[in-house]
């Protein structure tokens, strides 16, 4: 029969207990949100649209070159013929989601309406005679 000293048992118990201590895991990626942008007009118009299609990671990236994150689209918009963005996946839509529409150099007053939809819920909408901006950001 082998004799184990109290010190050896204490060390073994301490080792076992330390193995049970939770080690912080790598932070999970933030949940992604599906964002859609919709532009309508009361009169037919060739519209100039900018919308944010990706998270910049940090504000300084966006501030340095916003056009890297906001593609420009020209679209024919008319009653019953809206422009709808492809689904955009954003981690932080409250900070960055935005869509802007204007007549650009086109004459006319089409009466634009924009809608910003996050996870199926309209979060912002605006109207404007020659342009509109839908955004959740506070800057």
Write down the pTM of the prediction: 0.76
Please write the tens of the pLDDT for every residue from 45-69: 999 999 999 988 888 888 888 888 8
Separation of alpha carbons 80 and 84, rounded Å: 12
Say whether domain 33-135 belongs to CATH 2.60.40.
Answer: yes
Separation of alpha carbons 84 and 57, rounded Å: 25
Question: pLDDT at residue 10 above 50?
Answer: no
Closest CA to 84 of 95, 73, 93, 97: 73
pLDDT of residue 85: 97
Strand partners, 41: 112
Question: pLDDT at residue 3 above 70?
Answer: no
- Residue 82's CB: how many other CB atoms inside 10 A? 15
């Amino acid at each position: 029969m082998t004799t184990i000293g109290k010190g050896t048992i204490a060390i073994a118990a301490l080792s076992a207990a330390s193995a049970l201590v939770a080690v912080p895991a790598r932070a999970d990626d933030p949940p992604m949100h599906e964002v859609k942008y919709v532009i309508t007009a009361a009169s037919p118009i060739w519209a100039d649209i900018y919308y944010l299609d990706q998270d910049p990671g940090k504000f300084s990236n966006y501030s340095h070159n916003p056009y890297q994150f906001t593609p420009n689209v020209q679209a024919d918009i008319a009653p019953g013929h809206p422009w709808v963005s492809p689904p955009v996946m954003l981690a932080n839509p409250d900070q960055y989601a935005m869509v802007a529409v204007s007549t650009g150099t086109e004459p006319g007053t089409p009466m634009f309406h924009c809608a910003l939809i996050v996870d199926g819920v309209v979060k912002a909408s605006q109207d404007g005679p020659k342009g509109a901006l839908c955004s959740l950001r506070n800057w």
